[in-house]
Amino acid sequence: MIDLSRYRGIIFDMDGTLIDSMGSHQEAWRLVSEEYGYPWNEEYMYSLGGVPTLQTVVVLNEKYGMSHNPEEVANRKKQLWENGDHTPKLIADTLAVFEHYRPSMKIGVGTGAERAHAIEMLEATGILPRIDALVTASDVKNGKPAPDTFLDVALQLGLTPAECVVFEDTQIGANAAAAAGMDCVIVKDGKIQC
């Protein structure tokens, strides 16, 4: 088990870190990319994991020189995702950390997902009633890679940034943790990178 004894709190990203839901999100992005003419690059899209959907559309428009309405594309992505198979499953490695440290540490979730989606996923997996704080894209003005999400979780936990460690699966999330002054543990393909 990874030694986190120097911290008082753990902040998990949700999609791709605590809950394996990235596949269904990727499929929705692939379909929306086809509909709106964005070139499909799975690796690039995965690198944007944790970025709020609306902001992802802005990034795609800038990258590919397009001017699609961000709200329209974001709503279509949400619709495609909701119509797909997105049964949430907990990721074994991070769940083991959660279970091991839950009795002695405060635990929060800081996600780029919208609040309704985050609550649905965390309830479906039984995690929601077991966490001490939840901050979503709906709760902050500046999503990842800005530090706001993780700073707000630390505030809700009653801890300083230095007392928290973040678990993330994307570079954008790791950048947000660094900007918040927090150490970060990377989770890649469901495995904790030490």
Sheet containing 106-110, strands listed edge to edge, beginning at the edge strand earlier in sequence? 133-135, 106-110, 9-12, 164-168, 183-188, 191-193
* SS3 per residue for 73-96: HHHHHHHHHHHCCCCCCECHHHHH
Of the residues 3, 13, 15, 85, only one is catalytic, namely 13
Task: Establish whether 139 is a catalytic residue.
Answer: no
- Extract long-range pairs of 79-84: CB within 8 Å, 24+ residues apart: 80/27, 80/28, 80/31, 80/32, 81/24, 81/25, 81/28, 84/24, 84/27, 84/28
Task: Catalogue the active-site residues.
Answer: 13
